[in-house]
Structure 1
């Protein structure tokens, strides 16, 4: 994998990091925007993802947002990777200038989870390795909110 941080966009200086780009095989691009999990960063990445979906860049097949990054899967026969990097950077930097109250609102997603038995065969191993009872592992996991 190679890292390429070049874009035609001037460096931003207002607190949000300019994206760092890293190739993911020959059909993916990882854009990283920060190093720590923070709700504001996560919300901006979600907003950026929505903007990118609406713009329909040629050859982009999938957008996979994460806490501090966005992975873009693309058709290498159609997509100009340098133009893709520039497009992401420009939207990211434009989005930075938008006041916080204009950031798309967060939404809660509930994911069904099954613990133990055939649906969760590693529960006993997790409990043993953490020194917790199985019920405590389940409680801690289920009681947590993830950004």
Structure 2
């Protein structure tokens, strides 16, 4: 039998993981997102939820309405998924106040990298990042594409609480926290007033897997003003659409 290009892993009797690769890779992640869209668009009864990750897709289903064999056939019928590379991408411009009380680890990270804090900020804010997945906590965005010069190991003493909206670096990744205090061992370099998760919104999650994010440095006064606007329900991050 030929290799279908993916591996199926049962997760109990109500979920299945479709594993598409073994490495963190934008092409693999794009396939995950495309398969996610294809399965959700199939409209099959019993397909409850799909959860895209870096390199796999978790599919939750009701075996009383959709048997395992039927799910396997459904996945096969939608593989390979349509190539979405020509479609317009969503890019979010996310304001960030770097350093100071909002980026407690910025100075030490800069020393470790042999850079100034201003150089770290310029490198961090000078490129687009891919949202590989949302996980760990509602709205926490795992981002790929961090400049190797500012890769930084996780802290040896994780914090039991970090500020809501923290922007941080952990290894070769950077991330955006939701408006919740969370434990973390990542290096804190800034904070955004934008709320990646808000249950009061019609769409609670601001970012989705496959989106792009670019960070815009802001001063403390602007951070405070945008924080007030965000509390009043404004998005404060700006959505752009760019060619794929």
In the superposition, relative to structure 1, how do residues 54 and 69 fare at CA in structure 2: closer, same or farther (>3 Å)?
same
C-alpha displacement at 1:68, in angstroms?
Answer: 0.7
TM-score, normalising length: structure 1: 0.61
Would you say the 8 A contact 2:34–2:81 is kept in 1? no
Unmatched 5+ stretches in structure 2: 95-138, 142-160, 165-179, 193-208, 211-244
Greater fraction strand: 2
What is the distance in 2 between the residues matched to 1:48 and 1:119?
Answer: 33
Which of the pair is proportionally richer in helix?
A: 1
* Cα 1:66/1:80, change in 2 over 3 Å: same
2:181 to 116, 119, 138: 119
- The 5-angstrom pairing of residues 13-52 of structure 1 reads 18-52=5-39
Indicate if the aligned counterparts of 2:35 and 2:81 stay in contact, CA closer than 8 A: no
What is the aligned residue count? 115
**Which portions of structure 1, spanning 4 or more consecutive aligned residues, are displaced by more than 3 angstroms?**
104-114
SS in 2 for 1:56: coil
> Are 1:43 and 1:105, in contact at CA under 8 Å, matched by a contact in 2?
no
Unaligned runs of 5+ in 1: 1-5, 13-17, 128-136
Distance (Å, rounded) in 2 between the aligned partners of 1:85 and 1:112:
30
